[in-house]
Amino acid sequence: MAEYFTARGLPVPPELTRNPLLQWRRLLVIGASVAVVYLGLRVTNLDFSRANPEHAAAVIRELFNWDFRILTPQNEFETWWDTAEG
């Protein structure tokens, strides 16, 4: 990416000239975040032995099953103003 700037005679941003492994502050924050998540999962000791992945996938799939019938009147007593668009 630094070649883009040097080929056009532009100054190279310092983010591109530094080695990403030497950015210890960023790595420290990422490591601390991972440690907090790991320790939180160890402390809560979640039990997934009775989990039902098929049911969870069906529920998530149902969320994306759009039903556009709500945008039209459902019976002879409803008008357009009673629908979701109204």
CA separation for the pair 17, 14 (Å, rounded) = 5
pLDDT digits (tens, 9 = 90+) for 20-72: 777 888 899 999 999 999 999 999 988 888 889 999 999 999 989 887 777 77
Residue 13 pLDDT exceeds 90 = no
Provide the domain limits for residue 21: 2-82
Q: Are 86 and 80 in contact (CB under 8 A)?
A: yes
Number of domains in the chain: 1
If residue 37 lies in a helix (H) or strand (E), which one and from where to where? helix 24-44
